Amino acid sequence: MKLAVLAIVLGLCLAVATAEINYSVEENELVEFAPLGLADEITDEMDFSVFGILWFTIYGSLRTLKGVNCIIRRVMSIQSAAILSSMISKAATAAL
C-alpha cells in the first residue's frame, strides 16, 4: 500500500514537472557555444583545479570517518562498562 501511494505521488510530481517545461525552439533562440568566451568570464581558479572540484567530497568523507570513529568509541565504552559491571556483580555474589 505504501509503495502504491509513493508511486502515485512520484507520478504526479513527474507529471507536474513535465507539464511546466517549454520545449519550443525557434531559430533566433539558438546560441553558439564559445568555450574560450566562457573561460574568460569565469575567474575563480578553484573551479578549474582538481582540489576545488573534490573539496566537498573529501570534506564529507572525512566527516563520515570521524563520525564512524566516534560511534565505535562509544560502543566500545558501553561494552567495557558492561563487562566491568558484570565483573563487579560476580565479585559481589562470590563474596556473599
What digits encode the pLDDT tens for the residues 57-91?
888 888 888 888 889 999 999 999 999 888 888 88
C-alpha cell at 7: 508511486
Give me the percent of the chain exceeding a pLDDT of 70.
59
Domains in the chain: boundaries:
44-96
Residue 21 grid cell: 517545461
pTM of this prediction?
A: 0.41
- The CA angle 56-59-63, to the nearest 5 degrees, is 135
Distance CA 10, CA 17 (A): 11
